[in-house]
Structure 1
Amino acid sequence: MIRGMALAVMAATWIATGPIARADPEPTHAIAMHGEPKYGPDFAHFDYVNPDAPKGGHLRLAWVGGFDSLNPFIIKGRPPLGIGLMYDTLMTASADEPFSHYALVAEGIETPEDRSWVIFHLNPNARFHDDHPMTAEDVLFSLDILRTQGAPLYRVYYADVDQAEALDDHTVKFTFSTDMNRELPLVLGQLPVLPKHDWDGRDFTETTLEPPLGSGSYRIADFEAGRFIRYERVKDYWAADLPTQVGLYNFDTIQYDYYRDATVAVEALKAGEYDYRKEHIAKTWATAYQGEDLDAGRLIKRAFENNQVAPTQGFVMNMRRPPFNDPAVREAVAYAFDFQWANQNLFYGSYVRTRSNFDNSELAATGVPEGAELALLEPFRDQVPPRLFTEEYNPPDTEAPGEIRANLRKGLQILRDAGWALQDGVMTHGETGARLEFEILLRQPSVERLALPYVQNLERLGAKATVRIVDTAQFMNRVNTFDFEMVSAIWLQSDSPGNEQRDFWSSATATVEGSRNLAGVSSPVVDALIEEVIRADSREDLVTAVRALDRVLQWTFYLVPHYHEEDDRLVFWNRFGMPENTAPSGPAILRWWIDPEKDAALRAAGVLTDR
């Protein structure tokens, strides 16, 4: 699952009111990765929405950066935020289960117990925005174009689809090359259905500013590349009354305004230029939101509890090239990062140190391997560091005063043991003469204040590191082509990891430009454990396999871990209603709505611009 990207184990069943007859039909509207879906076939709406939420009003959001393409399916260009609102997928995920999908374009699904194939029965009412029906031909076209011309992620995601065929105009069957990829029916449920008739004669691999044809709850109303994009709710949206859509997409228009500077964007929010901001900068959260509007309750500053898996974030080391092809270097440079100092002096003590690729969840590897996890790792004992079996991995910390000096001494010793020595003040390899020099590539100036103290500590290790900040376009080009030594990066993780882990860490993607295997992880052990994650046939087996994978990645030292938040920190104008229940993943603005009384009060106070 992508950050969000499983059918009860049962005999082959089907759903739909179509003419195909099968033995022992057992309608199913949903698929769960493990066990049964939470919501039964007669559910009216998800628990975390308000089914009576009023429709209407205009929502304005903001982002720092820009966009130059309306094609979100390729690695070229920068697509705008919100573009996914235009596209319906075969099925849609619930936000209060680890990994379950429910009917959308596909009103029904069938799969055998071994999940070696899946059939989707399309809703005959499904339509694109031009009123053209969505058919099996569109589904087959979507899979083919994404696998052959889309971003590398799609080739990895759908690699195990061996055959795709239309059984009739509204029925599609996918046959797999393996029966060991148990989440593949769900992964295919995430397939966006693209209009074949609209793409005929057009180059899918190129960026475009021609508004695409979609099928989702919103369409593009207006835009200016790099400045703003406005979506309008489709009033005759074909799926509006489906249980999976009730209570969602309540705003008549959603506009994203783009700013070039984060400070300007914060001031624009306080001036009423837009409505809602998720604040990721600790200093801004602590100091920037003050004044009469906040005191009067017109502007709300609120932290919402978040129980989802924390992102993986840190300084990623490119193991494809020196100096980080040396594991001793990767381990040593982590000792120069002083998280505790940064947290107290830069971040107002608001962060938690990241130590796992799946922090804040049961998936994180802790302690030492035992039980089923130990049994899973035992065959690889001679291929992984021995410490993996005897020590709990933890990134170096500096809880005690002066501990950074001890950490630096430890880092120096690791380097010396690996054949490095100081020459003219720079750490140099005794055999190759290579100097410990590298660049830290950034695109956000806010991260520079974290990187510069790290550079100063690295100097005490004899490492000569420089910080380079580039614009977004150059940053993405260099990252996509792996043209960096160290880069600040983040991966969003899932409560139910699966096929996306291939794109993150597998040998097959280590040399594929545009993949998210930024570190260049290429290990038979990691490859084998990823497949264990993908083939897990119970939640218990999945947790075991993910912990084993996490543990091996921890001891690979591909990352200098940063930190994560335990809450969603939101600042918004008090014009919204929101559901009584919040999903474990936290609040989502697309489940909110404009409260007419609150909105009128703000307008009477003169704090909102006309919209």
Structure 2
Amino acid sequence: MLQKSNKPNFTEMTRRNMLTLMGSSVAALGLGMPGRVYADDDEIIKSHGYSFFGDLKYPADFPHFDYVNPNAPKGGEISVSTRGTFDGMNRFASKGRSGLYSGLTGESLFADGPFGTPIPSDSLTDSYGLLAHTVEYPKNKKWCIFHMRPEARFSDGSPVTAHDVLFTHNLFLEQGIRSYARAVKQRISGAEVLDDHTIRYSFVDGISRRSLVSQVGGTNVFSKAWYEKTGERLDEPSLMTQMGSGPYVVDDFEINRYIVYKRNPEYWGWHLPINQGRHNYDRVRVEYFADDAAEFEAFKAGVYTFRPEGSTKRWATGYDFPAIDKGHVKRETLTSGTPPSPVGFIFNLQREKLQDVRVREAMSLAFNFEWTSASLQFGLTEQRHSFVEGTEIEAKGVPEGREKAFLESLGDVVPPELFTQDAVRAHSSDPKSTVDRRNKRKGLKLMQDAGWVPGSDGILRDADGAAFEFEFMLSSATSDTAEAIITTYVENLKSYGFDAKMEKVDSAQMQQRFLDKDFDMIYSRHHSFQTSGTGLNQLYGSETAVVSSWNPSSLQSDLVDAIIKASLDTKSREEEVASLMALDRALRYHRIQVPGGFVADNWIASYDMFEHPEELPPLAVGYLDFWWFNQEKYEALKAAGAVR
């Protein structure tokens, strides 16, 4: 089980996911006049891109991103895999399970990667125009205006207009997830079409300006005419995919078996600098499998051709099949500058018995990472301590400098011990036994302090004699290694006296119960962060904790809320880093998950017909975005019978 997944992690989905988390004439506004001062005496900025701090990496006339091969050949097919099931192609539906990547058909005013790769992949803070060629806004960011590309077209050839942008904005408010609609209404006071290719957004007074321009610029745009013609709804499951304008369209699919996405040769945006060296495959195929074993056997047989490896056991012992020996399959270890995904055992803090931090700390002590890594993961994993492990915003020791000053500015909401205690780190354990006796003694003392003591049967009970019942939910598609880790942890909890059990459910039930927060604990992930933004409220804020699918633990903390609010008002990257360091410290202080381990590198196994730039960007591996297909190598593999 690889804790830093090679499939898109939060950083590779930062812009679209974070952004989704969230009446005058043109002549009267004086548009198109850089330097013009308006009635509010604020200078107007007009640019090809946007960065909150105003420091774009790429100039207006850039030919392509630095990390791509602008001469990469087009063609071929890459096929990847996933486990589980899907019952529709509408990724925004509130029920059901949509097909992997089924949301890729839509584009935004600002650029984003259709398969989740951040654009650009070498800058945390930049956004560049896609459907819009220019964004205009005052320095105080009370509003913004997007000037759209008149050549933009939906996949049926119809023009993309400001009317479609406004329609989609309202569609997400009316039929999108509740937490998103609520957040948008609190921040965006209005949207107005100025002409067919110009749209203006107004923002609510008295709130942080952070992320507002990025939020509206990063929202998918769908065809108003298509929705009116089909009668489809955004919130209902469907076998239809929204009419978008992206470089790929759905070509074919069979429920629970496969999906094929086809590069659209008539795509309107091939000429844009941001698309040079990207979207290189003619087809992207996703193969579905019921379980881990069948998935890997299919790769060995050449049923699919590209595999980001997610199992330490398999990486250590599984790659000894004929295609490896013959050189048909190659393995690569690629580095990435992104923090490891915050994977671990996640508490549902809506459960009353889990709301005591002493209980959560005691349950954390039952996890023996050292034994797990050595015995189940071949020593290939490292212990994770932070939500932003290995980055400049990882909290270490006691607060100092800017971080200390930031916390002091928050007042009494900050517990005094946060200033005097080192940032919480994962405990150490004896690797020779699954249960560390020293940690068990400490854990049972914490449970006793919280009002839970062992009864005559050894089960932890409260003052009324009620047992501490606890259920761990896992998916039937969970890998063998992951299930072994979970099973060992649950057995350790039993040894402490918890009345613990596991319940395995199918993928669809797992998804629905996750959305309904109907679990005690799951093995999943929170989302990492490297910049501030209103999306942090979706990830860790109290207001939407119960309904937000991005906040799996349903964390509700005045401290975290205050940190997020203050981080939105930071005026420089240095201040932003200090605020996010404080956020990492606070999340660890609350012990909202038992951190798992991670693998620092990305493990890739593929049939030897895919190529990539020599130097990859720091924020993405990008195999579905800017890698390419070597036709000659494919022909050789096909002649050898290695691939179909």
- Partner SS for 1:465: strand
The 1:316–1:221 alpha-carbon spacing in structure 2 relative to 1, beyond 3 Å, is: same
- Partner SS for 1:332: helix
For residues 179 and 310 of structure 2, the distance between their equivalents in structure 1, rounded to whole angstroms, comes to 27
Q: Per-residue CA shift, 1:565-587, capped at 9, x if unaligned?
A: 21111100001221222111242
Q: Tell me if 1:395 matches 2:419.
A: no
Aligned counterpart for 1:411 among listed residues 443, 451, 454: 443
- Partner SS for 2:103: helix
Query: Which stretch of structure 1 is more off in the superposition, 357-366 or 178-187?
Result: 178-187
Q: How does 1:140-539 map to 2 (within 5 A)?
A: 140-152=166-178, 154-155=180-181, 158=184, 159-178=186-205, 179-200=207-228, 201-378=231-408, 382-392=412-422, 393-398=424-429, 404-443=436-475, 444-446=477-479, 447-512=482-547, 514-539=548-573
Q: Per-residue CA shift, 1:89-116, capped at 9, x if unaligned?
A: 1111200011211110011111221222
Q: Tell me if 1:100 matches 2:126.
A: yes
When the two structures are superposed, what TM-score results if normalisation uses the length of structure 2? 0.89
8 Å CA contact retained: 2:292, 2:478: no
Structure 1 counterpart of 2:115: none
The 1:224–1:401 alpha-carbon spacing in structure 2 relative to 1, beyond 3 Å, is: closer
Q: Per-residue CA shift, 1:372-406, capped at 9, x if unaligned?
A: 22222236575455432222211211167668111
8 Å CA contact retained: 2:368, 2:430: no
Q: Per-residue CA shift, 1:438-467, capped at 9, x if unaligned?
A: 001111432221111112221222112111
The 1:541–1:309 alpha-carbon spacing in structure 2 relative to 1, beyond 3 Å, is: same
Displacement of 1:258 in angstroms is 0.6
Structure 2 counterpart of 1:73: 92
Identity percentage of aligned residues: 35
For residues 543 and 379 of structure 1, the distance between their equivalents in structure 2, rounded to whole angstroms, comes to 15
Cα RMSD for the two superposed structures? 2.2
For residues 455 and 106 of structure 1, the distance between their equivalents in structure 2, rounded to whole angstroms, comes to 52
8 Å CA contact retained: 2:88, 2:98: yes
For residues 457 and 306 of structure 1, the distance between their equivalents in structure 2, rounded to whole angstroms, comes to 34
Q: Structure 1: 5+ residue runs without aligned partners?
A: 7-14
Aligned length: 598
Q: Per-residue CA shift, 1:40-86, capped at 9, x if unaligned?
A: 11111111111111111122221111211111123322121222331
- Partner SS for 1:277: strand
When the two structures are superposed, what TM-score results if normalisation uses the length of structure 1? 0.93
Query: Which stretch of structure 1 is more off in the superposition, 417-426 or 150-159?
Result: 150-159
Structure 2 counterpart of 1:10: none
8 Å CA contact retained: 2:34, 2:46: no
- Partner SS for 1:450: helix
- Partner SS for 1:314: strand
Structure 1 counterpart of 2:41: none
Letter in 1 for 2:352: P
Q: Per-residue CA shift, 1:176-211, capped at 9, x if unaligned?
A: 114513222122221111111111233322110124
Letter in 2 for 1:407: N
- Partner SS for 1:86: coil
For residues 96 and 442 of structure 1, the distance between their equivalents in structure 2, rounded to whole angstroms, comes to 36
Displacement of 1:510 in angstroms is 2.1
8 Å CA contact retained: 2:249, 2:262: yes
Q: Tell me if 1:109 matches 2:143.
A: no
Q: Per-residue CA shift, 1:108-154, capped at 9, x if unaligned?
A: 11122122221111111111011111111111111111122112453
- Partner SS for 1:530: helix
8 Å CA contact retained: 1:31, 1:186: yes
For residues 282 and 33 of structure 1, the distance between their equivalents in structure 2, rounded to whole angstroms, comes to 40
The 1:192–1:79 alpha-carbon spacing in structure 2 relative to 1, beyond 3 Å, is: same
8 Å CA contact retained: 1:277, 1:571: yes
Structure 2 counterpart of 1:48: 67
- Partner SS for 1:219: strand
Displacement of 1:345 in angstroms is 0.5
Query: Which stretch of structure 1 is more off in the superposition, 90-99 or 175-184?
Result: 175-184
Displacement of 1:324 in angstroms is 0.3
For residues 249 and 541 of structure 1, the distance between their equivalents in structure 2, rounded to whole angstroms, comes to 36
8 Å CA contact retained: 2:447, 2:453: yes
For residues 484 and 115 of structure 1, the distance between their equivalents in structure 2, rounded to whole angstroms, comes to 41
- Partner SS for 2:274: coil
Structure 1 counterpart of 2:14: 4
For residues 303 and 636 of structure 2, the distance between their equivalents in structure 1, rounded to whole angstroms, comes to 17
Q: Structure 2: 5+ residue runs without aligned partners?
A: 1-9, 17-25, 37-44, 112-118
Structure 2 counterpart of 1:9: none
Displacement of 1:23 in angstroms is 5.0
Q: Per-residue CA shift, 1:247-288, capped at 9, x if unaligned?
A: 111111111111111111111111111110111111111111
Displacement of 1:20 in angstroms is 4.4
For residues 636 and 139 of structure 2, the distance between their equivalents in structure 1, rounded to whole angstroms, comes to 56
The 1:208–1:400 alpha-carbon spacing in structure 2 relative to 1, beyond 3 Å, is: closer
The 1:238–1:73 alpha-carbon spacing in structure 2 relative to 1, beyond 3 Å, is: same
- Partner SS for 2:124: coil
The 1:19–1:297 alpha-carbon spacing in structure 2 relative to 1, beyond 3 Å, is: farther
For residues 168 and 464 of structure 2, the distance between their equivalents in structure 1, rounded to whole angstroms, comes to 50
